[in-house]
A = this chain, B = another copy of it.
Amino acid sequence: MHEVLAAVLQVRNQQLQVLLWQRAIEPDAGRWALPGGRLGDNEDVQTSVLRQLAEKVDVRDVAHVEQLEVFSAPDRMPHRRTVVTAFLGLVPCVADPALPDDTAWHPVTDALQGSPRTAFDHGLIVRRARDRLRAKLSYTNLGFALAPPEFTVSSLRELYAAALGHRVSATNLQRVLARRGVLVPTGGTAAPGPSGGRPAALYRFAERGMRITDPFAVLRPPEAHHAPEGAVHLADPRPAP
């Protein structure tokens, strides 16, 4: 039996959250599980997981999907041998899709500490998804999948801080992403808050698809210092990290 499932992550309310649904039947009734289901006969795993997510989240809201890892321990589900291909899915913070009654967003840190008890090995999968996102935020343009179409640097800073779990300097975030050609100013500005302050410039991500922006520092080909952005494949679709 082959299944697919996804850890769908979104930054909401300054926290990185994951989409879970509460199981109604045994095994693991009452526990919270990642959305997914059986692989169909005429679809590959990525098509399948997007189809299944359409039942929980509007597929158009999912800005990025990538394979995480196969989980296949013979006893990972008690009733039946099930091999699952796990995916990472990312939803921009502005999307707020309607959800079924048994489905809700939960802070990732809570889920990892057992606050909503997770089913089977889904806690481990959530951890892998979070770690992958954190790594890729550092060396790809993956932020585009968390951010709205237009944003200020300070709002982007909050997204990165929530996903990474530590403070991020707006000054340096702007410079790094700008020099890499990831961020493009739209020319517009955001109105200041009620307490005043200079209006913030609006930016957008230069590309929609994932791209590696920070070619690994060492062991480059000689005399390739000014080479065009390296297109190193790492984990998958593009991939990973």
A42 to B75, CA, bound (A): 9
A43 to B232, CA, bound (A): 33
Residue of chain B at shortest CB distance from A234:
B241
**Which residues from chain B contact A85 at a C-beta distance below 8 Å?**
70, 72
A214 to B138, CA, bound (A): 12
A218 to B214, CA, bound (A): 9
Nearest CB of chain B from residue A15's CB, rounded to whole Å: 17
Asked whether A132 lies within 8 Å of B216 as measured between CB atoms, the reply is no
Q: How many copies does the complex hold?
A: 2
A216 to B241, CA, bound (A): 10
A104-144 contacts to B, CB under 8 A, are 128, 131-132, 134-139
Q: Is A26 an interface residue (CB 8 A)?
A: no
Mark A195-236 against chain B: 1 for CB-CB distance below 8 A, else 0.
000000000000000000010111111100000000011111
Asked whether A137 lies within 8 Å of B234 as measured between CB atoms, the reply is no
What are 17 residue pairs bridging A and B, where the CB atoms are less than 8 Å apart in the complex? A41-B74, A43-B74, A44-B74, A67-B69, A135-B232, A135-B234, A138-B220, A139-B216, A139-B241, A160-B219, A176-B218, A176-B219, A217-B217, A232-B241, A234-B240, A235-B240, A241-B241
